[in-house]
Amino acid sequence: MEAKAVIEQRQRETKNILGKMDIRSYTMIGALVAIWIFFGLLNETFLSARNLSNLFTQMSVTAILAIGMVLVIVAGHIDLSVGSIVGLTGGIAAILSNWMGLPTSVVIICTLIAGAAIGMLQGWLVAYRAIPAFIVTLGGMMIFRGVLMGITKSTTIPISDASFTALGSAYFTNGFGLILAAVAIVALVISTFKKRKSRQQYGFSVSPLSLELAKVIAISILIIAFVLTMNHYKGIPFPIIFVIGLALIFSFIANKTTFGRHVYAIGGNAEAARLSGIHIQRHTMMLFVFTGLLSAIAALVLTARLSSATISAGQMYELDAIAACVIGGTSLMGGSGTIIGAIIGAMVMTSLDNGMSLLGMETFWQYIVKGSILILAVWIDIASRKKKVY
């Protein structure tokens, strides 16, 4: 009888957690749709295929950085250096491509190694020397920006290699987009019903089948609409494929691997995680390796899209990435957050930037609006946690 009561209690807790996550996800999607409708009514250009294509391309860099930032914040840390790492690794890529004339494949590999090495250094200082991540990455933010100015001699380095610039400016043809949509819908159907069957097998409650089908149909319609809209312009921008691929990889790491579960456990209660045998130091250093690596990928995309590396590249990107995570539901207290939520948050931030720019709003208003939304998101998170406690 006691075992049955425990199982029932766990079922109720799981149902409540999933319900809160679903409500938050739907709220974010609803907010994004409302933003699009608002700007679409004020400026008809906003919802044009061309502008939406540009919006998704602009969003890609912030989304890539947010993917790595989520896990760092979930573990109870912060990384203020990702913007400067983007600038530095972008400068390294430009030097290797332009000044040294290396092929694109070598440039990509060297840039990724540089990003991972920077992340490992910072992770080692945080994990094994117990220096607070805030201090390490704040110092890194200034150091890496200074190194960028030094190695580039504070000049803009253009990129002339067409294969390199294609990383940020190429488009996939219409046929590829339709194939991608079909694969995505099939994967959605399989994963949805596999998850449903697994929950039933272990005795957990499941949503009505009609509701599950409605979700699948709604998401499938969104996927098809996205592909058709992109095809109406030039096709799917290449940077979006980076975002999709990285989101799938890191969602798998976060949700389906022991490492991911340990990261959430560390953020939820570090002392309990340590007593459970979790190697906190190793996991922490690995998280910063991921952020360094993802910053290098973002740098490749940004440098290729701009066809140049500048000393101002990546400035304030760390704040955009953190804001995307928080707006997407990641708690700054640690222990909770999702990759998909961060990407939605990045889309919200980019949509606001894009929409306000189209309306001709002055820059100071853009900062005020974005800052206010960030504070509101944190306020909501803290308020929801207080309700949970009381």
- pLDDT of 378: 79
Q: Evaluate whether residue 220 is within a structural domain.
A: no
Q: Evaluate whether residue 212 is within a structural domain.
A: no
Burial class (CB in 10 A: 0-12, 13-18, 19+), 276: exposed
Q: Evaluate whether residue 355 is within a structural domain.
A: yes
Which pLDDT tens digit goes with each residue over 288-324? 999 999 999 999 999 999 999 999 999 999 999 999 9
Q: Evaluate whether residue 182 is within a structural domain.
A: no
CATH number of the structural domain spanning residue 377? 1.10.3470
Look at residue 255 and give its three-state secondary structure: helix
Range of the domain at 102: 2-173+235-389
Instruction: Band the pLDDT of 387: cuts 50, 70, 90.
Output: low
CA atoms within 13 A on the CB side of 132: 4
Look at residue 237 and give its three-state secondary structure: strand
- C-alpha 158/C-alpha 110 separation (Å) is 18
Q: Evaluate whether residue 372 is within a structural domain.
A: yes
Segment 353-358 shows an average pLDDT of 93
Tokens of residue 294, six digits? 């993802």
- C-alpha 157/C-alpha 307 separation (Å) is 9
Which secondary-structure segment (H or E) carries 11? helix 2-42
Q: Evaluate whether residue 189 is within a structural domain.
A: no
Number of domains in the chain: 1
Q: Evaluate whether residue 216 is within a structural domain.
A: no
- C-alpha 217/C-alpha 61 separation (Å) is 29
Phi, psi of 344 (to 5 degrees): -60, -40
Which secondary-structure segment (H or E) carries 172? strand 171-172
Single out the residue of 369, 365, 329, 368 nearest to residue 345, CA to CA. 329
- C-alpha 154/C-alpha 88 separation (Å) is 12
- pLDDT of 147: 97
Q: Evaluate whether residue 13 is within a structural domain.
A: yes
